[in-house]
Amino acid sequence: MTHSENMLFGMGNPLLDISAVVDKDFLDKFGLKPNDQILAEDQHKALFEEIVKRNKVEYHAGGSTQNSVKIAQWMLQKPHKVATFFGCIGKDRFGEILKKKAEEAHVDAHYYEQNEEPTGTCAACITGDNRSLVANLAAANCYKKEKHLDLDSNWELVKKAKVYYIAGFFLTVSSESILKVARHASDKNKIFCMNLSAPFISQFFKEPLMKVMPYVDILFGNETEAATFAKELGFETDDIAEIAKKTQNLPKENTKRQRVVVFTQGKDDTVATVGDRVTMFPVLDIDQNDIVDTNGAGDAFVGGFLSALVQEHALEECIRAGHYAANVIIRRVGCTFPEKPDYH
């Protein structure tokens, strides 16, 4: 079966990444470290107003899940709109930019638009090789199942998909939306994928995470997230292969599909459960000097992986595609990519 429109479904926090080159004075003014990732607080309100007035501001559609489905679409190239994306934005200029950027990436984005909160943003303040990220979820936090996911026209798009991907970050927004999609995938023997996303998800959103886990066919994460998850679940091991195995063996609804667990480890081997074994897959070599920005590497890995998955390729091939996409993205600022992939 060839891949067709709306075959890949993603749902998450759509954020507009606003990147601009700033100076040390700008960082000091807002109390930012040169290389950091924080959530916006009151003292950062003016930062967003000020950064857009700088020259050479770049706008990129961001947010973890949206990044991944966009990269999957980029890897596939044709047909357009293989990937569907749901999330919440505001009725404002930034929301319009997000819509335009999704269109340019040929992703079929259907946003829930509301007036209460402005479109979520992530300011990337660049100084030299460093970037300081300040995220303001705002509208992204306002997604409502009954106002969007449950609408017939939207649910039809969910039903069209064969592969589903939702980053763990969305557990903080609408776990009931995640459960509805996950149950559908499980009932219809389709593939539901999730990401541990960040250590704080396992620590503070463990209950909703574990409610979804029985429906998870493929779980992604990095070495830090895997270690935190293992600690929270009392696995009593810090051996990543063993953590992968124990995670694979957690209770599962749809027994027709054995759970696959994939943990990336930066430049070290990616660890994955292949059947009953745990296998190591080396990443592509890259010269340290060619690495511009490792942020977005995890999103890119998942995007590459999903592009092979919708084509029903074997796990090894999905991982190879993931490694390729991550290798491309870390050579560039933000989660951006050249016009076409050079992947065979």
Sheet arrangement for strand 58-62: 36-39, 130-136, 121-127, 15-21, 58-62
- pLDDT category at 227 given cuts 50, 70, 90 is very high
- What pLDDT does residue 329 have? 86
Q: What is the pLDDT of residues 234-291, one digit of tens each?
A: 999 999 999 999 999 999 999 999 999 999 998 899 999 999 999 999 999 888 878 7
Domain 8-15+62-119+137-330: homologous superfamily in CATH: Ribokinase (3.40.1190.20)
- Answer whether 240's CB lies under 8 Å from 271's CB: yes
Ranges of beta strands (E only) in 154-267 are 163-167, 191-195, 218-222, 260-265
**What integer is the mean pLDDT of 106-111?**
97
Q: Residue 45 and residue 87: Cα distance in Å, rounded?
A: 23
Rg (CA), the chain: 19
- Give the Å distances, CA to CA, from 181 to 79, 113, 176, 185, 231: 24, 20, 9, 6, 28
**What integer is the mean pLDDT of 204-211?**
96
- Answer whether 142's CB lies under 8 Å from 114's CB: yes
pTM given for the model: 0.91
| Catalytic one of 23, 287, 299, 342 | 299
Residue 205 pLDDT greater than 90, yes or no? yes
- pLDDT category at 179 given cuts 50, 70, 90 is very high
Both structure tokens of 307:
């592009």
Told to judge if 299 belongs to the known catalytic residues of this protein, a careful annotator would answer yes
- What pLDDT does residue 192 have? 98
- Give the Å distances, CA to CA, from 60 to 17, 102, 261: 5, 9, 30
Residue 344 pLDDT greater than 60, yes or no? yes
Q: What residues contact residue 108 under an 8 Å CB cut-off, 6+ apart?
A: 5, 6, 81, 83, 84, 85, 157
- What pLDDT does residue 114 have? 97
Give the rounded percent of residues in the chain with a pLDDT score beyond 70: 98
Give the rounded percent of residues in the chain with a pLDDT score beyond 90: 74
Residue 310 pLDDT greater than 60, yes or no? yes
- pLDDT category at 40 given cuts 50, 70, 90 is confident
* 116 or 288: which leads in pLDDT: 116
Angle at 104 (CA atoms; ends 103, 106), nearest 5 degrees:
60
